[in-house]
Amino acid sequence: MRPATGRLLVLATVFVCAACGLVYELELVALASYLAGDSVTQASVVLSVMVFAMGAGSLLAKRLRPRAAVAFGLMEGALALVGGMSAMGLYACFAWLGQSRPALVAFSLAIGVLIGAEVPLLMTLIQRIRRQDAGGAVADLFAADYVGALVGGLAFPFLLLPWLGQITSALATGAVNAAVGGAVVLWLFRRDMSPRARYALLAGNALVLAALLTAATLAGPFEQAARRAVYGDAVRVALRTDVQEIVLTGRPGQPLALYLDGRLRVSERDEYRYHEALVHPAMTGPHARVLILGGGDGLAAREVLRYPDVRSVTVVEPDPEVVRLARTDPRLSALNGKVYGDARLRSVTAEPFGWLRRSAPRRAYDVIVADLGDPCGAAGMKLYSQEFYGLTRRALAPGGRLSVHAGSAGKRPRVYWTVTSTVRAAGFRTAGLRVPSDRGDWGLVLAARDGVPVLELPRGMPRVRWLTAARLRAAAAGVGAAGPEVAASTLVRPRYPG
């Protein structure tokens, strides 16, 4: 083979290996963020551990250069196996052991060591094809490496994840990694290895590919078993959307529960306490036009639409599948009172922050209900920032009220008081509620655009299951009038812990 052709094949191998390496990295970050939340922390753990390990792998490769061909083949087989199985292993640790951080560190360390050894070994191999100055060889290798990283980084979110999902994407990437790494060594550098080494390397790669293929075949049953380990045997609906994983549990005779990205968002046992306290105190005063941010399950809208003088309700939900289930699932639509059949309700599929900024009419709503997820984590921080509440204030009519879910006032009081301080920093006056539940408590913040919010039930409030004037007073007393002095959270200075 001509040296130029061999050199081009080695650079193509660098390209493929770099793309595979970045897919492993992004897959670990994505899955860890889904399992544990707080994508900033998960990305920091993966990147810092992996970069450290890459340095260790580069040092390790110095000892392997005399047998660079065999070492590179073995490294690529090990990387394909570890990287390909990493998503399945991480999910298994979360499902059956209840934690994923140790596995995340272990996989990041192992993958980083193996990736770090690639370039020094490839540098040795490419010089065996045709000698050139070290600077030129390094420039060629790193150019191929960076372009491969670009392709892998774009392929993961736009192709692999939507088409194959996290587990199968990692397995398919491992298969490509093993096939390309083994092929280039066995073809281009077969004369650098003994017959025994060639057969051993060929058998090892075949075993790796067989293991990855077997795992891909079992990926579906594995996901079902892991889901049962996390949610129990009562799973009725489980689907992965572009936004999150949605799971509905509750067989006939069992209470309905809705999980979003593994976190319980709705439990039929006690959701009415939360939604009644979130909505009805905010309805004291004008409430003809109501905006609900989040709340695609329709449960907050159910409470709002109990008022006959409500003229319009707009629900801004980022995940259309949540709205579809709220419309069509018999149990969930029964729980929300079939609100999506009410002509007064309009649903919008949009991310709440962007929608408020671009599309929300100014001073249009008498009441805004922020029925959003947990404040902690990178995604939640944006929707609990001073900028976000500033946008809600702009959308409120004079005298309007804002009601906010603010985490737990008992288990995580600092988070609750950070939300309160952030709402106040946006120009609101606030009052707090602590609503008991079987799983702890909910912290709520009622805010007024002008004046002081009044913690009382509205006149003519429809009949509800739990909320009374006495319970409203008890919920307010559970929080207290004052809290610790904490800084407001902004987009550039987030204050919520991970």
The percentage of the chain sitting over the pLDDT mark of 90, rounded to a whole number, equals 72
pLDDT category, 233, cuts 50, 70, 90?
confident
Query: Could you give the angle at which helices 134-155 and 101-129 cross, rounded to 10 degrees?
Result: 140
Whether the per-residue pLDDT at 471 is higher than 60: the answer is yes
Q: Over the stretch 189-215, which tens digit does the pLDDT of each residue have?
A: 888 888 999 999 999 999 999 999 999
pLDDT category, 115, cuts 50, 70, 90?
very high
Whether the per-residue pLDDT at 426 is higher than 70: the answer is yes
Strands of 124-250 (E only): list them.
235-240, 245-249
- Contact present, 101 and 28 (Cβ < 8 Å): no
Q: What is the rounded CA–CA span in Å between residue 132 and residue 129?
A: 10
User: For position 378, what pLDDT does the model report?
Assistant: 57
Whether the per-residue pLDDT at 4 is higher than 80: the answer is no
Domain ranges of the chain: 3-221, 226-263, 271-479
- 134 vs 342, more confident: 342
What is the mean pLDDT of the segment spanning 421-437?
Answer: 95
User: For position 317, what pLDDT does the model report?
Assistant: 97
Environment class of 304 (CB within 10 Å of its CB; exposed 0-12, middle 13-18, buried 19+): buried
pLDDT category, 56, cuts 50, 70, 90?
very high
pTM for the structure as a whole: 0.87
Q: What is the rounded CA–CA span in Å between residue 461 and residue 280?
A: 8
> 261: phi > 0 → left, psi -120 to 50 → alpha, else beta; which?
left
What fold, for 3-221? Growth Hormone; Chain: A; (1.20.1250)
What is the mean pLDDT of the segment spanning 467-493?
Answer: 88
Whether the per-residue pLDDT at 384 is higher than 90: the answer is yes
pLDDT category, 35, cuts 50, 70, 90?
confident
User: For position 315, what pLDDT does the model report?
Assistant: 98
User: What CATH number labels 271-479?
Assistant: 3.40.50.150
- 130 vs 323, more confident: 323
Q: What is the rounded CA–CA span in Å between residue 444 and residue 370?
A: 10
Whether the per-residue pLDDT at 68 is higher than 70: the answer is yes
User: For position 242, what pLDDT does the model report?
Assistant: 83
The 8-class DSSP code of residue 481 comes to S
pLDDT category, 437, cuts 50, 70, 90?
confident
Vertex 71 angle, CA 68 and 77, to 5° = 140
Return the bridge partners of 347, or none. 315
- Contact present, 421 and 256 (Cβ < 8 Å): no
Q: What is the rounded CA–CA span in Å between residue 89 and residue 103?
A: 8
What is the mean pLDDT of the segment spanning 318-346?
Answer: 97
User: For position 51, what pLDDT does the model report?
Assistant: 95
- Bridge-based pairing of strands 396-405 and 365-371 is parallel
- Non-local CB neighbours of 154 within 8 Å, separated by 6+ positions: none
pLDDT category, 148, cuts 50, 70, 90?
very high
User: For position 81, what pLDDT does the model report?
Assistant: 98
User: For position 7, what pLDDT does the model report?
Assistant: 83
User: For position 497, what pLDDT does the model report?
Assistant: 63
Q: Over the stretch 263-283, which tens digit does the pLDDT of each residue have?
A: 889 999 999 999 999 999 999
User: For position 177, what pLDDT does the model report?
Assistant: 97
Q: Over the stretch 404-424, which tens digit does the pLDDT of each residue have?
A: 999 888 788 888 999 999 999
User: For position 1, what pLDDT does the model report?
Assistant: 59
- 411 vs 118, more confident: 118
Q: What is the rounded CA–CA span in Å between residue 114 and residue 476?
A: 56
- Contact present, 64 and 71 (Cβ < 8 Å): yes
- Contact present, 42 and 32 (Cβ < 8 Å): yes
User: For position 40, what pLDDT does the model report?
Assistant: 79
Whether the per-residue pLDDT at 482 is higher than 70: the answer is no
User: For position 203, what pLDDT does the model report?
Assistant: 95
What is the mean pLDDT of the segment spanning 415-443?
Answer: 92
Give the active site residues: 371
244 marked as binding residue: yes
166 marked as binding residue: no
Mean pLDDT of the residues in the chain: 92
The percentage of the chain sitting over the pLDDT mark of 70, rounded to a whole number, equals 97
